[in-house]
């Protein structure tokens, strides 16, 4: 165990280093520093278990140093030594969690006694942490083994009874032969906004603790097993001889209570699928039934689904429900929002069954893709122009697994087609602006006037114009005026004053200055050069 002594008075540090019986205190190494900066450097290079520190020091004081230590090295205990009996110091030292606060001058025996107590506390903490780690490791090992038996059970049905025996033995820790159980499957649907996804074992332990609290009053023992990422299998076990009332109803009640707690306090939302009370040999088949219910939950509804209690809708005919044969025309005409509305109206009806949802979604995905291909052929588009890093083609092709993914894919395609149509329209508007400038050189055109002529926002128009021509609107107007002026100077005998009026400059001096700036010579010199050729 190591100690760091910090005091700005070197004689105090020297006295403590020499005067205390470090060996008898079972201290392995003693380090010293005369300021907070030196102390920080020692902390960063050596393990310090006890900090023996003055409070009043030039620059950064001992309280500030310990505040840093608490953040970086929370296992370190601190004993403050100070000759200032100020209540504010003592109060802050206690609030920071210092081990002791000793007023100087103090006898060495008093300081040694405090160090001895701090050492004892550190050893007790270490022992406690070791025991906690052993218990945690044992619990994680048990959970890991039980989950591996579950996976083995699902792959090798002939070992169902054997593996379930092992799972019950590990998790119930008491005789289980007289117990009955039902199976439930939990699926984490999504994490709430601004909340990070939890590490798997932490997530499993947290849910397990909540389930235990919920089901304890119902005399049901839950066994939670990790199946795969964000999926858990739940075995709800009940003593057949002691159970009263309807066991299945009790399981439903408990899961509803858990779900209410989850929605209110947890960082995620999940769907839970509850099956029947079963015999051990029926486990694989029941699990497959619940897995299929989860696959059919394409709307990612976060609720409790009970086997056999799904509401059914009349037999459907996709030709009557969806006008897929018109989707290509609707996409081409910019009415893709009608397609989205059509799908939403079907899928977002309340109290709908999960039955056939997944099959229908795959057919809708095929229908939408066919419509998209038709539009691509009409517009001469390639897949690489639509899909890329922002939204990969592979992601689109797999977007038939859930309603959320399909709608995300559809809305991405609609946004792309709308942007492309808008870009084409904007390009036509810039061409119109260019023709307007070229056909009206005599006008004193402004950026605002041209933007208004093509019905675009002035700043937005300026950006598009620069992207298209490489010129600002003002520079392009001047370029076209000078172009006409050069033609008139070279081919006519018009006075330069008249030419300045015909090109919209208004007066001779402005025209002359602008011309020379663009061409490097005056209008008169340009005329003489061109007409002499």
Q: Which of 394, 422, 450 is the C-terminal boundary of a domain?
A: 422
Task: State whether 355 and 480 are in the same domain.
Answer: no
Its domain, for residue 446, covers 440-531
Q: Tell me, yes or no, whether 444 lies in a domain.
A: yes
**C-alpha dihedral over 169, 170, 174, 175, to 10 degrees?**
-10
Rounded Cα gap, residues 283 and 277, in angstroms: 10
Q: Tell me, yes or no, whether 514 lies in a domain.
A: yes
Task: Work out whether the CA dihedral 288, 142, 267, 199 comes out positive or negative.
Answer: negative
SS (H, E, C) 344-360: HHHHCCCCCCCCCHHHH
CATH number of the domain enclosing 483: 1.10.10.60
> How would you classify residue 286: left for phi > 0, otherwise alpha for psi between -120 and 50, otherwise beta?
alpha
Q: Tell me, yes or no, whether 228 lies in a domain.
A: yes
Q: Tell me, yes or no, whether 137 lies in a domain.
A: no
Q: Which residue, 150, 179, 182, is CA-closest to 166?
A: 150
Q: Which residue, 72, 62, 71, is CA-closest to 36?
A: 62
| Residue 473 contacts residue 447 (beta carbons within 8 Å) | yes
Written as six digits, the tokens of 186 are: 């939990």
Write down the residue that tokens 């799908």 correspond to: 343
> For residue 39, how many C-alpha atoms fall within 13 Å in the half-sphere facing its CB?
31
Q: Which of 105, 126, 147 is the C-terminal boundary of a domain?
A: 126
pTM over 0.75, yes/no: no
**Centroid of chain to Cα 3:** 43
Task: State whether 7 and 108 are in the same domain.
Answer: yes
Q: Tell me, yes or no, whether 510 lies in a domain.
A: yes
DSSP letter assigned to residue 229: T
Task: State whether 193 and 122 are in the same domain.
Answer: no
pLDDT in tens, the chain (533 residues): 899 999 988 888 898 888 899 888 999 899 999 999 999 999 998 899 999 988 888 888 888 898 899 888 888 999 988 776 666 676 777 777 788 888 878 888 999 999 999 989 888 888 777 766 665 666 777 778 888 888 888 888 778 888 888 888 888 877 777 788 999 999 998 888 877 778 777 888 889 999 999 888 888 899 999 888 889 999 999 887 766 557 877 888 889 889 888 888 888 999 999 999 988 889 999 999 999 898 888 888 888 888 876 544 444 444 445 777 788 888 888 888 888 888 888 887 766 666 567 778 888 887 888 888 888 877 777 778 888 888 988 888 888 888 889 999 999 998 888 877 666 555 578 888 898 999 898 888 999 999 888 877 788 788 888 988 999 999 999 999 999 999 999 999 888 888 988 898 878 888 899 999 999 999 999 998 988 86
Task: State whether 222 and 290 are in the same domain.
Answer: yes
Q: Which residues pair with 51 in a beta bridge?
A: 4, 78
CATH number of the domain enclosing 107: 3.40.50.2300
Task: State whether 384 and 261 are in the same domain.
Answer: no
Task: State whether 328 and 240 are in the same domain.
Answer: no
- Tell me how far apart the terminal alpha carbons of the chain are, to the nearest angstrom: 100
Task: State whether 164 and 279 are in the same domain.
Answer: yes
Number of Cβ atoms within 10 Å of the Cβ of 11 = 8
CATH number of the domain enclosing 269: 3.30.70
Q: Tell me, yes or no, whether 135 lies in a domain.
A: no
Task: State whether 253 and 197 are in the same domain.
Answer: yes
Read off φ and ψ for residue 310, nearest 5 degrees.
-75, 135
Task: State whether 42 and 170 are in the same domain.
Answer: no
Written as six digits, the tokens of 223 are: 């066994």
Q: Tell me, yes or no, whether 150 lies in a domain.
A: no
DSSP letter assigned to residue 198: P
Task: State whether 287 and 193 are in the same domain.
Answer: yes
SS3 523: helix
Q: Tell me, yes or no, whether 466 lies in a domain.
A: yes
Written as six digits, the tokens of 60 are: 């950064």
Task: State whether 261 and 333 are in the same domain.
Answer: no
**Centroid of chain to Cα 127:** 38
Q: Which of 126, 147, 178 is the C-terminal boundary of a domain?
A: 126
Task: State whether 333 and 301 are in the same domain.
Answer: no
For the chain, how many structural domains are there in total?
4
């Amino acid at each position: 165990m190591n100690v760091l002594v910090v005091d700005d008075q070197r004689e105090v540090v020297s006295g403590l280093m020499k005067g205390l019986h470090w060996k008898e205190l079972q201290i392995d190494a003693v380090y010293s520093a005369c300021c907070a900066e030196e102390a920080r450097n020692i902390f960063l290079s050596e393990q310090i278990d006890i900090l023996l520190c003055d409070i009043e020091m030039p620059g950064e004081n001992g309280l500030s140093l310990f505040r840093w230590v608490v953040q970086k090295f929370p296992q370190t205990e601190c004993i403050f030594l100070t000759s200032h009996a100020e209540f504010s110091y003592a109060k802050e030292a206690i609030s920071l969690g210092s081990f002791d606060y000793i007023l100087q001058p103090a006898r060495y025996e008093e300081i040694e006694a405090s160090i001895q107590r701090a050492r004892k506390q550190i050893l007790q903490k270490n022992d406690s942490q070791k025991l906690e780690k052993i218990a945690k490791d044992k619990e994680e090992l048990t959970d890991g083994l039980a989950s591996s038996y579950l996976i083995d059970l699902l792959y090798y049905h002939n070992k169902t009874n054997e593996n379930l025996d092992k799972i019950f033995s590990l998790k119930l820790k008491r005789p289980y032969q007289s117990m009955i159980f039902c199976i439930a499957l939990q699926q984490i649907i999504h994490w709430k906004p601004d909340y990070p996804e939890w590490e798997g074992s932490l997530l499993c332990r947290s849910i397990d603790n909540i389930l235990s609290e919920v089901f304890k009053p119902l005399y049901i023992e839950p066994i939670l097993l990790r199946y795969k990422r964000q999926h858990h299998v739940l075995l709800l076990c009940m003593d057949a001889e002691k159970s009263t009332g309807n066991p299945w109803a009790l399981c439903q009640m408990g899961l509803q209570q858990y779900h209410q707690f989850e929605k209110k306090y947890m960082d995620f939302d999940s769907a839970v699928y509850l099956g029947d009370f079963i015999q051990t040999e029926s486990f694989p088949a029941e699990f497959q039934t619940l897995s299929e219910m989860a696959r059919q939950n394409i709307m990612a509804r976060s609720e409790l689904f009970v086997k056999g209690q799904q509401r059914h809708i009349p037999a459907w005919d996709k030709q009557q429900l969806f006008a897929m044969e018109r989707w290509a025309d609707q996409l081409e005409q910019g009415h893709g929002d009608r397609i989205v509305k059509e799908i939403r109206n079907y899928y977002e009806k309340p109290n709908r069954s999960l039955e056939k949802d997944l099959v229908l979604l795959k057919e809708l995905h095929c229908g939408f893709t066919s419509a998209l291909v038709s539009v691509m052929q009409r517009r001469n588009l390639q897949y690489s122009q639509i899909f890329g890093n922002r939204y990969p083609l592979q992601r689109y092709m797999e977007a038939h697994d859930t309603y959320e993914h399909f709608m995300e894919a559809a809305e991405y395609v609609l946004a792309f087609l709308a942007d492309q149509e808008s870009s084409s329209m904007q390009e036509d508007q810039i061409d119109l602006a260019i023709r307007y400038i070229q056909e009206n050189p005599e006008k004193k055109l402004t950026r605002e006037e041209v933007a208004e002529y093509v019905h675009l926002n002035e700043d937005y128009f300026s950006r598009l114009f620069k992207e298209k021509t490489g010129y600002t609107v003002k520079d392009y107007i001047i370029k076209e005026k000078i172009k006409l002026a050069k033609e008139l100077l070279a081919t006519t005998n018009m006075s330069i004053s008249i030419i300045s009026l015909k090109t919209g400059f208004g007066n001779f001096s402005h025209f002359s200055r602008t011309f020379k700036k663009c061409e490097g010579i005056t209008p008169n010199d340009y005329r003489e050069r061109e007409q002499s050729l």
